[in-house]
Amino acid sequence: MGIRKLKKAAASVLCSCVMFVSMITPVQCGVITDTMPAYTDGFAKGYLFEGVHNWNQCEEALQNLTPAVTFFHVTTYYEVDRGIVLTPSETAKIEAEDTAVKTWVAANIHNMVPDGADYNSAVRDIMTWLRKYVKYDHADMYNNAYQGALTAFSLGKGVCTTYACAFNTLLNYLPFDETGHVNYAAGTQHIPARLVMNETHAWSMAYVGNQWLYYDPCWYASTGQAIYMNGNTDRTFGGERYHL
């Protein structure tokens, strides 16, 4: 097939530039590597999404790498025989944002979720913090910078994708011990958390107790209604369905 350059279209809706149907399945769709021996011309330090050949699968693969950054931040990517590849500059952009988010979280998470908190308490603490400190930016809702977690922490504002990515990042960072409590000193278990999107909205899912539970941190921040942070087993939870 050779190399085909693909340039992503500008975002045209609140939090999605393409239809992302129903949910992101909890299956790793691609393996990301940091070298491309077969394509060394300009791609030696770019990410390869191996076996991936569409935008939605790239989003899923990137979420497996980091919950803090979405594929909306990628301007240009290339399709090759082995999958989809990002140039070094695009790779560096993702890594820089991921590093900035992780640095902020490492410095502040202890003040947000106390040592010894159980899972439900941790979710409540994260949701409460996001509702208190992050504002929905209605005036600039199409800003592509909001398609990740960083502006929640650096600017205190964003859109639904910002809330979801921030929630996923914070929850995934917490180290739980074998008793199911946050243990910053010795915890080794981390909760997988992923982004869920459709054409107009973004929310969250977390893998707990051998099942995916769904949360909507944006709508909890907007309404304060517990239904959005209690965990729902319905994969279509979020969006307009549960707006009360």
Per-residue 3-state assignment (H helix, E strand, C coil) for the chain? CCCEEEECCCCCCCCCCCCCCCCCCCCCCCEEECCCCCCCCCCCCCCEEECCCCHHHHHHHHHHHCCCECHHHCCEEEEECCEEECCHHHHHHHHHHHHHHHHHHHHHHHHHCCCCCEHHHHHHHHHHHHHHHCEECHHHCCCHHHCECHHHHHCCEECHHHHHHHHHHHHHHCCECCCCEECCCCCCECCCEEEEECCCCEEEEEEECCEEEEECHHHHHHHCCHHHCCCECCCCCCCCCCCC
Sheet of 31-33, strand order = 4-7, 76-80, 83-85, 48-50, 31-33
Would you state the pLDDT for residue 4? 52
Is pLDDT at 51 greater than 70 in this prediction? yes
Q: 43 or 155: whose pLDDT is higher?
A: 155
The 10s digit of each residue's pLDDT in 193-211 is: 999 888 788 999 999 988 9
* Mean of the per-residue pLDDT values of the chain: 79
Measure the CA–CA gap between 214 and 195, rounded to whole angstroms. Answer: 10
Q: Using pLDDT thresholds of 50, 70 and 90, give the confidence band for residue 144.
A: confident
Mean pLDDT of all residues in 158-162: 96
Measure the CA–CA gap between 116 and 180, rounded to whole angstroms. Answer: 9
Would you state the pLDDT for residue 38? 43
Would you state the pLDDT for residue 15? 34
Is pLDDT at 13 greater than 60 in this prediction? no
Q: Using pLDDT thresholds of 50, 70 and 90, give the confidence band for residue 43.
A: very low
Mean pLDDT of all residues in 31-59: 61
Q: Using pLDDT thresholds of 50, 70 and 90, give the confidence band for residue 87.
A: confident
95-104, 150-159, 179-188, 198-207: the lowest-pLDDT one: 198-207
Q: Using pLDDT thresholds of 50, 70 and 90, give the confidence band for residue 52.
A: confident
Is pLDDT at 53 greater than 90 in this prediction? no
Span between the terminal Cα atoms of the chain, in Å: 50
Is pLDDT at 223 greater than 80 in this prediction? yes
Would you state the pLDDT for residue 8? 54
Is pLDDT at 89 greater than 70 in this prediction? yes
Single pTM value for the model: 0.81
Is pLDDT at 114 greater than 50 in this prediction? yes
16-20, 159-163, 182-186, 221-225: the lowest-pLDDT one: 16-20
Residue 93 in tokens: 């952009």
